[in-house]
Amino acid sequence: MKTLKETANKNYLVKRGTKIDLSQWDPNDKSTLSIGKEEEENLSSKLHKELGNLQDRLYAEHKHKVLIVLQSMDSGGKDGVIQHVFKGVNPQGVNVASFKVPSPEELDHDFFWRVHQRAPARGEIVIFNRSHYEDVLITRVHKMIPPEVWKRRFREIREFEQMLTEEGTLILKFFLHISKKEQKERLEERLKDPHKNWKFSMNDLPERKLWTKYMNAYEDALGNTNTSWAPWHIIPSNRKWYRNLLVLAIIVNQLHKLRMKYPVQKENLKKITIK
């Protein structure tokens, strides 16, 4: 258990100052863990129980805030991670924020305005399913803003995340890395499976043609916003079970470092009698 949590964090953590070349990160990699299905299920069950206990302490202590950022190409597995990693946790202390096309009101403000409103409060875990990073990815690829703007936003993102960290937020950022071939298979599965038809969007096809431009945009975004206070993890995600297990192990590992404790009750509970 300890080995997996520590090695998962180490093996997929982007080192400071590293120039990102996603072609050097194998989305099929599973070198950290080579186990069978039964072993994977047992390990996942233990980690889920551990996460539940840690999240309970986080909520009770009401001191720390946790922000989890998930980014990926279409069909990369953001919904799958949320569904599988966070099953069994108390929904009272976990919230998911999804950021779609900005509304007219949101466009009238700075690009952090809608994001900051969804940042976690004390005792809370908030998962960003897409995030403020869309404003240096899709806006860049589709030339919605000039280069001087998206380049400036790298600095603004670093400063925004530093401010959140200094205010007591643990930020964990995951890029779920899939191959173009894997994306093709997942999109085809959405077409074939009637229960998954609803997931398919015609917009997926023109976006797929921009794969190389998105890879370049991600490389710049990851490299320019990989900081000591909010580092990136690049998670090989062609294998869904492996992706889920890595993200779960890393989150558990990082939450342990907060050294959270249940509040001490001031009253002497031993003297209380419930009639």
Taking Cα atoms as reference points, which of 4, 86, 22 lies closest to residue 234? 22
pLDDT tens track for 81-134 = 999 999 889 888 999 999 887 888 888 898 899 999 999 999 999 999 989 999
Q: What angle do CA 153, 158, 164 make, to 5 degrees?
A: 120
Q: How far from 195 is each of 38, 156, 182, 205, CA to CA, in Å?
A: 27, 41, 19, 20
What CA–CA distance (Å, rounded) separates 150 from 145? 7
Tell me the whole-structure pTM to 2 decimals: 0.92
Q: What is the pLDDT averaged over residues 68-92?
A: 93
pLDDT at 265 over 80: no
**Burial classification of residue 63, based on how many CB atoms lie within 10 Å of its CB (0-12 exposed, 13-18 middle, 19 or more buried):** middle
Least confident of 54-63, 104-113, 163-172: 104-113
Beta carbons of 233 and 24 less than 8 angstroms apart: no
Residue 193: band (very low, low, confident or very high) from pLDDT cuts 50, 70, 90: confident
Three-state DSSP at 14 gives coil
Residue 3: band (very low, low, confident or very high) from pLDDT cuts 50, 70, 90: low
What CA–CA distance (Å, rounded) separates 245 from 67? 19
pLDDT at 190 over 70: yes
DSSP result, 102-157: PPHHHHTS-TTHHHHTTS--TT-EEEEES-GGGGGTHHHHTTSS-HHHHHHHHHHH
Residue 110: half-sphere exposure toward Cβ, Cα within 13 Å = 9
Tell me, what amino acid is at 66? V
Identify any residues that bridge with 170 across adjacent strands, giving them in sequence order: 66
What CA–CA distance (Å, rounded) separates 202 from 207? 9
Q: What is the pLDDT averaged over residues 28-56?
A: 87
List alpha helices for the chain, DSSP H. 2-12, 37-61, 78-85, 104-107, 113-116, 138-141, 147-166, 180-192, 204-208, 211-224, 240-256
Handedness of CA 227, 229, 230, 232 (dihedral sign): positive
Q: What is the pLDDT averaged over residues 12-40?
A: 87
Give pLDDT, residue 2.
52
Using left for φ > 0, alpha for ψ between -120 and 50, and beta otherwise, residue 16 falls in beta
Q: What is the pLDDT averaged over residues 205-234?
A: 96
Q: 2-260: what CATH class?
A: alpha beta
Locate 83 and state its tokens: 């569904």
Q: Which H or E element spans position 163?
A: helix 147-166
Locate 154 and state its tokens: 């790298």
Percentage of the chain beyond pLDDT 90 is 72
Locate 238 and state its tokens: 């062609």
